[in-house]
Amino acid sequence: MRHFGVSGDGLRAAAAKVDAIADRAAESPRFTVGAGLGHTALSSSVSSFAGVLAERWAEFARMTEGVARNLRGTASIYERADGEGAAGLQVGPGGEF
């Protein structure tokens, strides 16, 4: 018989690791670029690029936080399902379910 198992503790440990990544990502890089490049069009383009990069970085940080949250939620779902399944399998007289 094949066996499938999920460890709630394992999922929570993975969530903690993802949280650490999200914490580092939340410290988004700060770019100080712009007018000091000596060329107006180049300065504008670099500033625009830096702004878009900062927005995408913040989005990455939010999504990473969501992964950790979903891992913890999945752990709870599996544990609840396991508990409900065990409660439904009561052994009766004579060892019958």
One-letter amino acid at 51 equals G
pLDDT tens per residue, range 38-90: 888 888 888 888 889 888 988 999 999 999 999 999 999 999 988 877 777 76
The single residue listed with the structure tokens 């903690």 is 16
Q: Are 34 and 46 in contact (CB under 8 A)?
A: yes
Is residue 91 included in any domain, yes or no? Answer: no
Is residue 50 included in any domain, yes or no? Answer: yes
Whole-number Å distance between alpha carbons of 60 and 67: 11
Is residue 90 included in any domain, yes or no? Answer: no
Pick the closest to residue 9 from 85, 74, 63 (CA basis). 74
Name every residue whose Cβ is closer than 8 Å to that of residue 28 and which is 6 or more positions away in sequence: 54, 57, 58, 61
Is residue 66 included in any domain, yes or no? Answer: yes
Task: Check: pTM over 0.75? Answer yes or no.
Answer: no
Q: What is the span of the domain harbouring residue 24?
A: 8-30+38-79
pLDDT tens per residue, range 4-35: 788 999 999 999 999 999 998 888 677 676 66
